[in-house]
Structure 1
Amino acid sequence: MNFEEIKDKRPKKVGELVDKSEEGDNYIVKVSDDKIYELAPIAYYIWAMCDGNRSVNDIVTELSREANLDESQVRDPVVMVLDELEKASLITF
């Protein structure tokens, strides 16, 4: 998966936030009774932005603005997180 392939797609999150991890800052997201994931804060933040309305490009733009980084610096990490979220069935395109 690379940015050019998915930049116009609008990912939609699957599952719901259940809780915040007891140890640390991770978030617990439940997809189904037998599928529960613990997400790092940045993965959770990107997952939460996947509302079906924002494109991948919109997410990159918003994150770069909030982190005060150039879009080129956040593009690959965002794509990597989206790829992992999709593999875990936490988002759909």
Structure 2
Amino acid sequence: MPFVARKLEPKFLCRGHVPYGSGAARDWPVGAELEAAANGALSGSLKQLASLLGAAEDIFAELTTELTGIAERSAKLRRRIDRVEESLLAQDPKKIPVRRPFSSG
């Protein structure tokens, strides 16, 4: 089971409060409370998307590092395979002695 590297949880967007100051709420026009709640929900969702973007950026940076390492190891392995292939092609199969199996009897 893999370890949790990042924990992303959604936050409650509309759990803010309408700011009540020194009589400022009484001077608001009708429906201003809804607009304040909508603005709070929008800013909360933008903050969550920004944190999600940061986590995705970290994931892709780690993935790029891992894939770069895999590409380097693959290239090294390819070079080794090419060297073995060259040495096999240089050998003459007719000149290589073949041992006979032991005969019982």
Higher relative contact order (CA 8 A, sep 6+): 1
- The answer, yes or no, to whether TM exceeds 0.5 is no
Please classify the TM superposition score into its range, dividing by the shorter chain length: under 0.3
Give the alignment's TM-score, normalised by structure 1.
0.28
Structure with a larger share of its residues in helix: 2
Q: Tell which structure's C-alpha radius of gyration is larger.
A: 2
Give the alignment's TM-score, normalised by structure 2.
0.25
Structure with a larger share of its residues in strand: 1
